[in-house]
Chains A and B, each alone.
Chain A
């Protein structure tokens, strides 16, 4: 049996959920999510330092989705919205968790896995150097993505990027990324 997205999504909805969304990731959706999460953090009277970190990491997570989402084949479009992605923002005792999920072509899995593993193996200084190198040497893609998002998230959170690739069918995997922002 292939990976069940609904089951996976409902499992993510544990803890104190500030925002949960499953559907098309558009520019308007990103604006709405940012507004909602920002006001929810006010309710928690979060320090401005934590608010900024969560906001920054959320922007990058959402825009990573926006820039990298695949156009799905017709038979999958019947079941999933165009630009389908998942987002859950939750607050746990000692940290915020931002989970994102999207389909990825099977041929891209290894490249992404290697990239994240490399980022996870790097020290703070190495990440800083990598960020500066990409910033200074790589052009922006037409869509506006710059290949800096994951490096930036790793730098700002200081935590490793947790991920899974679940096989959906022969052509697609479902990529889940969990990012943690410590409260203290």
Chain B
């Protein structure tokens, strides 16, 4: 299936979803006033990908900031991944945070406690 690539802006993250490689990346800032609009194509892409996913899907989430409006949409993305993980294929979510950013680590742990997909917390050391 076709890859999904969106360039980042001051308020929205860059997105690279590669179905052939089974690699999904969200990076940067996610602070739009209305996040539903931005995340809709991501959720739709995953919907389609879930019909025939790779054996292993690697998810890299490396956010500098995200607002509470985005937090619900990110949960929707993770719920799609959870559905894929429930099937035969494996999913791993790599949650990146900067070394002094306890809030971002905690946000990752919040998701980890809600979503039944293995998380790996990865500290970025400068």
Contact = CB atoms under 8 A, between A and B. Distances in A.
Contacts of B34: 143-144
A112 interface: no
Contacts of B45: none
A82 interface: no
A145 B72 CA distance: 10
Interface stretch (A1-9, A86-94, A127-135, A164-172): A127-135
A79 B34 CA distance: 29
Contact of B67 (A48, A52, A63): A63
B114 A135 contact: yes
Interface in A33-79: 34-35, 47-49, 52-53, 55-56, 59-60, 63, 66-67
A120 B114 CA distance: 25
Given A135-B110, A140-B35, A143-B34, A52 B103 contact: yes
A13 interface: no
Contacts, number: 74
Contacts of B67: 56, 59-60, 63
Nearest to A131: B110
B36 A31 contact: no
Interface residues of B, number: 26
A152 B110 contact: no
Interface in A132-149: 132, 135-136, 138-140, 143-146, 148-149
B119 interface: no
Interface in B71-87: 71-73, 75
Contact of B98 (A27, A48, A131): A48
B51 interface: no
Contacts of B102: 49
Given A59-B67, A144-B32, 18 more contacts: A27-B33, A30-B33, A47-B100, A48-B101, A49-B102, A55-B65, A59-B31, A60-B68, A63-B67, A66-B33, A128-B106, A132-B113, A135-B72, A135-B75, A135-B110, A144-B36, A145-B69, A149-B68
23 contacts: A31-B11, A34-B31, A48-B98, A48-B100, A48-B101, A49-B100, A49-B101, A52-B101, A55-B65, A59-B67, A63-B33, A63-B67, A63-B69, A67-B33, A128-B110, A136-B75, A138-B72, A140-B72, A143-B34, A145-B69, A146-B69, A148-B71, A148-B72
